[in-house]
Structure 1
Amino acid sequence: MTETFDPASATIAIVTYNRSGLLTRLLESIATMDPKPGHVVVVDNASVDDTSDVVASFRERLGTELVYRRLDTNTGGAGGFSEGMRVAYELGSTWIWLMDDDVEVIPDGLARMGAWAPRFKSIQGRRYDYDGSEFYWQYRLSIPLGIPIPFAPAGFDEKRYRVMNSGCFEGMFIHRDIVQKVGLPDPRFFIYWDDSVYGWLASRQTTAVIVDEFVLKRTREIKQWDMGTRHLNASSNAYRYYIMRNRGHMKHYFRTHGAHRPLRFAIGTFLTFAKELIRLVAVERTVRGTSNLWRGWRDGIAISRDRSWTPMPALPAA
């Protein structure tokens, strides 16, 4: 029997950190949505700006129930999305729509996503970039290499969807049945690879898809190298560190599920390092920051050798 989508059964879970201006724009876009979700959860990663005041100002005008969770420490995007998904799951949400604070929702975005809900249980919508151009997201992973496939087709045919084996927490729309089986996002990642691995785990449970529906727009301008359909964004020392370190956690997940291919994964790690060097030179016009890549690589090796490591557990069924 096909499950009918009810907008009230959906929860938007937002992670924010010291960007109250961007959060304001996102909440304003939610306030004008039609239809609206049943709940909006805002997870605040211990912001020191006026984020709590901004959230309070929307309680009466958002048009749906607003749940605010301020964490004691900054747990990164991974920790924030783990908490946001946990809260949404415990609220009894059937659908959970994850997003960062630097996007705004297209007014009928939830209806667009919900139209696919009877067919799929892990769905990624599309988004516009800051300048209004179409953002290309690398929706396929090479599992042996553990890296995105940069030449995965960008266009859509008459089906208007493509099967994916990855995920992006900036727009992931996922059913509670899949969350229950996979468990919560792993907060140990802090930032980077957390959503890719989670999307891969979800794709092992169901047919995961990216659909030809524009539902979000980025509201923060990021320096980038425009390569046509694809582009390379500027990064930071923290991202450079975690993109290498977290390959240790990724390796554990691949091992757990019998997907780890040591030689090819090592090649993927080298290619990741090389890509970040290119990003430094081509986008940020510097070579400073390479020490963070080396430090992350070293720490990732240590994590991969941790015999006490265990994956995130499944959740109790409702």
Structure 2
Amino acid sequence: MPPSAPAFDPASATIAIVTFNRSHLLTGLLESISRMDPKPGHVVVVDNASTDDTPETVESFPERLGTTLVYRRMETNTGGSGGFSEGMRLAYELGSTWIWLMDDDVEVLPDGLARMGAWAPRFRSIQGRRYDYDGSEFYWQYRIAERMGIPIPFAPSGFDDSGYKAMNSGCFEGMFIHRDVVRQIGLPDPRFFIYWDDQVYGWQASRVTASVIVDEFVLRRTREIRQWDMGIRHMNASSDAYRYYIMRNRGHIKQYYRVHGVYNPVLFGLGTALTFGKEIIRLLLVERKVRGTSNLFRGLRDGGRISRDRSWKPMPPLTADGAQRTDA
């Protein structure tokens, strides 16, 4: 650790969780947080207008969680994108130095925060590792082919003695990010609703700070997903909604790329075509069906409209108190 680097204070961290109609999974995550040592200063739960017993579940935890719990119930389902944007906003307004994002279908390992905090003096955008539902080591695609805007599926999975690798992407299932980075790039964009939001946000973070994935297992997935085992990685089953947003949100990515001056129409078009082909493979080999392609075409159509919207603007930077800057 550099002599001038401040020591990590666990109380300066906030875990921000997004949940929707999965109170049984949220219960497992909150129970895992209650077993953590050390614990974060705050836990924020953003409820995307669940219709199950999520409010009652959250109400049962404040005393046994061992830290401050903040509950925010949204009026409508804003998707993972809207939920994480709101969760990060709340954590930022609480004065958190570090914000740790996660879905409700994971559990935190007892020493997870200590493991992430050990890297905090060196980096400001950090991704830990997680175990899959079956206990295997999950391979996360931490590098993207920037001009194509798609993950590199077989980027090296091993770590050298340094214990970290540079990344230019992000995953809201475990993103550990410093408030100074959030201030510079703004909140996650809720317009994505689901899909590509964390990749774009992690990519933006990597443009202003050294972003890394570290060889520290800090999470475990608690929900089983149908998969196609490809060896080094897996391809998960999807849904019609995901298929639609996977293609539609290419329009938002294109707009972000234009703003940052990295848009190449040929390479980005190739990335979109490869994404479309990947979803066809997912339908045939993972879900073993052919219905669902209409959602891909609808997404392409609507993404085209987004990419032609001249009024589109990126999420603005934040002020010190969390307000969005109007001069950006």
Q: TM-score range by the shorter chain?
A: over 0.9
1:229 equivalent to 2:232? Answer yes
Aligned to 2:275: 272
Give distance in 2, aligned partners of 1:268 and 1:317.
37
Aligned to 2:145: 142
Q: Tell me if structure 1 keeps the 8 A contact 2:125–2:211.
A: yes
1:96 equivalent to 2:99? Answer yes
Q: Tell me if structure 1 keeps the 8 A contact 2:154–2:232.
A: no
Q: CA deviation at 1:317?
A: 2.1
Spell out the pairing of 1:37-52 with structure 2 (5 A cutoff): 37-52=40-55
Give distance in 2, aligned partners of 1:61 and 1:151.
42
Q: CA deviation at 1:253?
A: 0.4
1:69 equivalent to 2:77? Answer no
Q: CA deviation at 1:228?
A: 1.1
1:62 corresponds to which letter in structure 2? L
Q: CA deviation at 1:151?
A: 1.8
Give distance in 2, aligned partners of 1:145 and 1:176.
29
Give distance in 2, aligned partners of 1:2 and 1:27.
31
| Superposed CA offset, 1:56-101 (max 9, x none) | 0001100000000000000000000000000000000000000000
Give distance in 1, aligned partners of 2:137 and 2:300.
33
Any stretches of 5+ residues in structure 2 without a counterpart?
Answer: 322-328
Aligned to 1:152: 155
Give the secondary structure class of the aligned counterpart of 2:26: helix
Aligned to 1:186: 189
1:17 equivalent to 2:24? Answer no
1:58 equivalent to 2:61? Answer yes
2:277 corresponds to which letter in structure 1? A
Aligned to 2:212: 209
Q: CA deviation at 1:5?
A: 0.4
Give distance in 1, aligned partners of 2:189 and 2:148.
21
Q: CA deviation at 1:119?
A: 0.3
Give distance in 2, aligned partners of 1:29 and 1:300.
39
Give the secondary structure class of the aligned counterpart of 1:212: strand
Aligned to 2:285: 282
2:122 aligned to which of 119, 123, 144:
119
Give the secondary structure class of the aligned counterpart of 2:228: strand
1:75 corresponds to which letter in structure 2? T
Give distance in 2, aligned partners of 1:163 and 1:317.
28
Give distance in 1, aligned partners of 2:270 and 2:126.
30
2:50 corresponds to which letter in structure 1? S
1:34 corresponds to which letter in structure 2? D
Give distance in 2, aligned partners of 1:151 and 1:228.
10
| Superposed CA offset, 1:159-213 (max 9, x none) | 1100000000000000000000010000000000000000000000100000000
Aligned to 2:82: 79
- RMSD of aligned C-alpha atoms? 0.5
Give distance in 1, aligned partners of 2:193 and 2:304.
17
Give the secondary structure class of the aligned counterpart of 1:178: helix
Give the secondary structure class of the aligned counterpart of 1:232: strand
Identity %: 77
Give the secondary structure class of the aligned counterpart of 1:61: helix
2:179 aligned to which of 176, 180, 183:
176
Give distance in 2, aligned partners of 1:229 and 1:265.
26
Aligned to 2:31: 28
Give distance in 2, aligned partners of 1:138 and 1:85.
23
2:231 corresponds to which letter in structure 1? G
Moved over 4 A (4+): none
Q: CA deviation at 1:4?
A: 1.3
1:109 aligned to which of 109, 112, 116:
112
Q: CA deviation at 1:6?
A: 0.1
Q: CA deviation at 1:143?
A: 1.0
1:196 equivalent to 2:194? Answer no
Give distance in 1, aligned partners of 2:273 and 2:290.
17
Aligned to 2:7: 4
Aligned to 1:240: 243
Q: CA deviation at 1:3?
A: 2.0
1:115 corresponds to which letter in structure 2? A
Any stretches of 5+ residues in structure 1 without a counterpart?
Answer: none
What is the TM-score normalised by the length of structure 1?
1.00
Aligned to 1:249: 252
Give distance in 1, aligned partners of 2:134 and 2:154.
23
Give the secondary structure class of the aligned counterpart of 1:217: strand
